[in-house]
Amino acid sequence: MSEDQTPPAAPSSPTLTAAEHTEAGGAPSSGQRRFGTFAGVFTPSVLTILGVIMYLRVGWVTGQAGLLGAILIILLAHLITIATGLSVSSIATNREVGAGGAYNIISRSLGAPAGAAIGIPLFLAQALSVAFYIVGFTESVQVFLGGLGVQLSIAAGKAISSVLLVLLCAMSARSAALAIKAQYVVMAAIGLSLLAIFSGGSSAPPTELQWTGAGTESFSVVFAVFFPAVTGIMAGVGMSGDLKNPRRSLPIGTMSAIGVGLVVYLALPVWLAMNVSSEELVNDNYILWQLSSVPALIFLGVWGATISSAIGSILTAPRTLQALAGDGLVPRVLGRMDRAGNEPIVGLAITFVLAEAGILLGDLNFIAPILTMFFLATYGLTNLACGLERWASSPSFRPAYRLPAVISLVGALACFYVMSIISLPAMLAAMSISAFIFLLIERRDLGTTFGDARHGIWSALVRSALLRLRSASFHPENWRPNLIVLGGNPIKRPWLLHFGSAIVQDRGIVSYFHLLTGAVRDRAADRRRLIEEMESELAERLPGVFYRVDIVAELYQGVVSVTQSYGLGNVEANAVMLGWPSQEENFQGYADMLRDLRELDRSLFLVAYDNTRKVGNRSRIDIWWGGFPGNGSLMLLLAYLLTASEKWRGAQVNVMTVVENELQREACLDSLAGVLEAARLQAQARVLLRGERDVRDIMKSESENADLAILGIGLPDPDDNIERYFARINRMLEALPTTIIVHSARTFDGEPVLFSQAEESS
């Protein structure tokens, strides 16, 4: 496609908002309800749809694709437009669309970060698009004067553009009502130009219609050239504050404008194919002037289309910026009004500066595709917002016009597809800019909420996932840690929070519990205070952890109760982490609790923390296994998860056990080599001969320089001597650094580890 056939930037949406807004970017008021459906919605929308592409590109599209291809392109483009118009209608009949038009819809549906990600680039695109339309007007004037034998210099052309920009900004600053009245004149000019086109014709029309095209461009390229013609469908959305009955006017006005545009765009290719061959249509972008009965009226139509689009952008851009300022997403001074409180004067001044910069640059082809992307992304996100709200079935989403979610979602996908075929690099550039703004606003954590649909959307996703998870069969290889950490006050035991988050990372769910003992009526206030403190102080530092405070009558039974009741559907805790008991604790109650947790099929991670050595420099982990079935696999997995975390990454892992003789040692080494290979864990296997030494002494000498030990144990039977059991374990712990004691649940199934029973018998 040659340079003069490059499609212009997508027509901006001349979104008009209420003329009365509060000072300094405050929330806009509803203003005086002045306009009806025709003046407030239909007129600005249809003037944007019937734009310069209608005059300069429909012929080229018909020549390239043929009559059949052109009709197909127009129908496909309008199907996307209709879907978006229906989405706008549905949202507009659910809530009053405030200042900012498209930005207001997206931010109130998908949240402030998503609104800013579209609103800020959209403002820049609207402001710079003023330059495109004014430069387009000036170029058509140069063509007109060229026909009269008058040639304008580049400097003269820029001077004409600058003067026109000053005049249009001055008119817009005076009042939005004046701009609306000016658009009636533009509509009359476009109407007369259409009469001149359809009343004219060729003196030598082709003998038969050419259903197939004569061009060399692909269908997707031709579609990309035409599509910007139909992207001005949200021209009346921002008029909500000025409409007498927005819930009625927005749907009727928007869909009526789409209907008129569809009729005109279907009629033009048929008329052109009846009068001109495909070869002529491809090679002559100014064919309408030759065919019309009054060529001068075509100039009036082009001038009217460019000026109306420029006016729409001049009105839209400052109000988009004002809405952003009112929500605190840009400095509030940028939303300041004039003395009469009618127009966002600061936003208008910034729009003027950006547009004048665009005029002085002259050739803006290098940013035109990116601007087009921002407009298309706006329409796509509008569809997405409506579709997700409908799919999430939020009780607050009760539009008078109920649109099936699939229509909006398909419309959103179609918009993003069109972006990709117009210019994939420009799409990626626009999406990267929007993603950067989204992350920046999200990190600012403004605390701004509009009652948007994000909570409902995530809730619907969770519900859908839980229902699907219930029907999916579980295999032990799919085991992942859903961990409950019972740590009490996290300030006193931060190591439990550290180990819990390091083990789970992004592979499962970790929930940190602080249990309060007593009666609910006595501890409810403490619970509310602690929840607020934990969420504010810890959630920012460890965002992947969920925090809970529960009130229980007795601590050990309370642990059992919350462990078996916490969860939703098939998503429940499969592992519990808590501290190893001190000498002052109730060993019997602790042992009963552990046995109950085992009966509930919860794997246990019991942390014996060395307050002196802490966790050293996190460079070495020693695994000691004593023979209890299933523990070996869980200990290896625990070491793998820890070494995959950021703070333990690169730590050396030693897997050690004690045997009685050399024969056992050789068999154990062979077994360990296979297990470590199957577990895909970088670790060193060490099988130690006991000889005359005590196991505790071996552990002490071997793990003296370790930063963490992992020890597998069995739980005591009800008739065991509890004091003796804990004394034996504590004796081993005295020889070790900070230790995680592991007991595997029956539901955990991993590679078998065949070690000796030496430690269990010690």
Q: Are residues 616 and 536 in the same domain?
A: no
Q: Are residues 562 and 414 in the same domain?
A: no
Q: Is 703 exposed, middle or buried (0-12, 13-18, 19+ CB in 10 A)?
A: buried
DSSP H or E segment with residue 723 = helix 722-734
SS3 call for 512 = strand
C-alpha distances out from residue 181 to 6, 233, 239, 306, Å: 32, 20, 15, 16
| Mean predicted confidence (pLDDT) in 125-145 | 84
Residue 23, pLDDT above cutoff 60: no
Residue written as token pair 């990309």:
224
Q: Determine the pLDDT at residue 621.
A: 96
CB 708 within 8 A of CB 624: no
- CA-based nearest residue to 399, from 668, 92, 185: 92
CB 622 within 8 A of CB 656: yes
Of 4-18, 302-316, 646-660, least confident by mean pLDDT is: 4-18
> 335: domain CATH number?
1.20.1740.10
C-alpha distances out from residue 242 to 12, 253, 382, Å: 20, 14, 21
Q: Angle CA(453)–CA(459)–CA(463) in degrees, nearest 5?
A: 145
The pLDDT tens digits of the residues spanning 160-180 come to 999 999 999 888 787 667 777
- CA-based nearest residue to 8, from 58, 63, 75: 58
C-alpha distances out from residue 339 to 173, 294, 345, 571, 729, Å: 11, 46, 9, 59, 80
Q: Are residues 531 and 479 in the same domain?
A: yes
CA distance 210 to 454: 51
| Domain extent for 305 | 3-444
| Mean predicted confidence (pLDDT) in 590-609 | 94
Residue 719 DSSP code: T
Q: Which two tokens stand for residue 485?
A: 């950490």
Q: Determine the pLDDT at residue 351.
A: 93
Cα(first)–Cα(last) distance of the chain, in Å?
Answer: 85
Q: What is the residue-wise DSSP string for 99-110? A: TTTHHHHHHHHH
Confidence label for 267 from pLDDT (cuts 50, 70 and 90): very high
Domain end call among 444, 463, 485: 444
Residue 241, pLDDT above cutoff 60: no
Of 258-262, 283-287, 552-556, 752-756, least confident by mean pLDDT is: 752-756
Please name every residue paired with 575 in a beta bridge, in sequence order, or none if there are none: 483, 603
Q: Are residues 618 and 575 in the same domain?
A: no
- CA-based nearest residue to 577, from 610, 601, 602: 602
Q: Are residues 91 and 154 in the same domain?
A: yes
The pLDDT tens digits of the residues spanning 537-555 come to 776 677 778 889 999 999 9
Q: Are residues 409 and 309 in the same domain?
A: yes
Confidence label for 26 from pLDDT (cuts 50, 70 and 90): very low
SS3 call for 86 = helix
CA distance 321 to 336: 10
- CA-based nearest residue to 633, from 681, 563, 573, 596: 681
Q: Determine the pLDDT at residue 536.
A: 76
CA distance 560 to 606: 15
Cβ neighbours of residue 208 closer than 8 Å, sequence gap 6 or more: none
Q: Determine the pLDDT at residue 1.
A: 40
> Strand 739-743 and strand 708-712: pairing?
parallel
Alpha helix stretches (DSSP H) within 23-94: 37, 43-49, 52-56, 58-92
User: In angstroms, what is the C-alpha Rg of the chain?
Assistant: 36
Domain end call among 563, 598, 633: 598
- Residue 330 exposure: Cα atoms within 13 Å on the Cβ side: 24
Q: Determine the pLDDT at residue 316.
A: 80
C-alpha distances out from residue 355 to 152, 310, 352, 377, 506, Å: 21, 10, 5, 22, 47
> 542: domain CATH number?
3.40.50.12370
Of 122-126, 253-257, 281-285, least confident by mean pLDDT is: 122-126
Domain end call among 428, 444, 460: 444
Q: Are residues 373 and 420 in the same domain?
A: yes
Of 30-34, 116-120, 258-262, least confident by mean pLDDT is: 30-34
Q: Are residues 699 and 581 in the same domain?
A: no
Q: Determine the pLDDT at residue 761.
A: 35
Locate the DSSP E strands across 405-502. Answer: 482-486
The pLDDT tens digits of the residues spanning 446-481 come to 555 555 566 666 677 777 777 776 666 555 555 678
Q: Are residues 377 and 229 in the same domain?
A: yes
Residue 137 lies in a domain: yes
Of 96-105, 652-661, 681-690, least confident by mean pLDDT is: 96-105
What mean pLDDT value characterizes the chain? 82
> Strand 571-572 and strand 567-568: pairing?
antiparallel
DSSP H or E segment with residue 511 = strand 509-517
CA 707 to chain CA centroid, Å, is 41
Residue 449 lies in a domain: no
Residue 239 lies in a domain: yes
Residue 10, pLDDT above cutoff 80: no
Q: For the whole model, what pTM was predicted?
A: 0.64
- Residue 704 exposure: Cα atoms within 13 Å on the Cβ side: 5
How many independent structural domains does the chain possess? 3
Q: Is 241 exposed, middle or buried (0-12, 13-18, 19+ CB in 10 A)?
A: buried
CA distance 759 to 693: 12
Residue written as token pair 């994939």:
424
C-alpha distances out from residue 295 to 137, 194, 289, 318, 566, Å: 16, 11, 5, 36, 77
Confidence label for 594 from pLDDT (cuts 50, 70 and 90): very high
Q: Are residues 135 and 159 in the same domain?
A: yes
C-alpha distances out from residue 330 to 63, 122, 373, Å: 47, 14, 22
Q: Is 8 exposed, middle or buried (0-12, 13-18, 19+ CB in 10 A)?
A: buried
SS3 call for 743 = strand
CA 38 to chain CA centroid, Å, is 36
Residue written as token pair 């002085």:
360
Confidence label for 593 from pLDDT (cuts 50, 70 and 90): very high
Tell me the Ramachandran region of residue 614: left when phi exceeds 0, alpha when psi lies from -120 to 50, beta otherwise: left
> 677: domain CATH number?
3.40.50.620
> Strand 739-743 and strand 603-608: pairing?
antiparallel
Residue 461 lies in a domain: no
- CA-based nearest residue to 118, from 358, 424, 324: 324
- CA-based nearest residue to 13, from 320, 261, 300, 225: 320
Residue 330 DSSP code: S
Residue 456 lies in a domain: no
Q: Which two tokens stand for residue 263?
A: 């009729």
Residue 519 lies in a domain: yes
Q: Which two tokens stand for residue 92?
A: 């507009």
The pLDDT tens digits of the residues spanning 554-571 come to 999 999 999 998 887 777
> Strand 482-486 and strand 509-517: pairing?
parallel
Q: Are residues 15 and 130 in the same domain?
A: yes
Residue 454 lies in a domain: no
SS3 call for 545 = strand
Identity of residue 97: V
Q: Are residues 619 and 593 in the same domain?
A: no
Confidence label for 89 from pLDDT (cuts 50, 70 and 90): confident
Residue 724 lies in a domain: yes
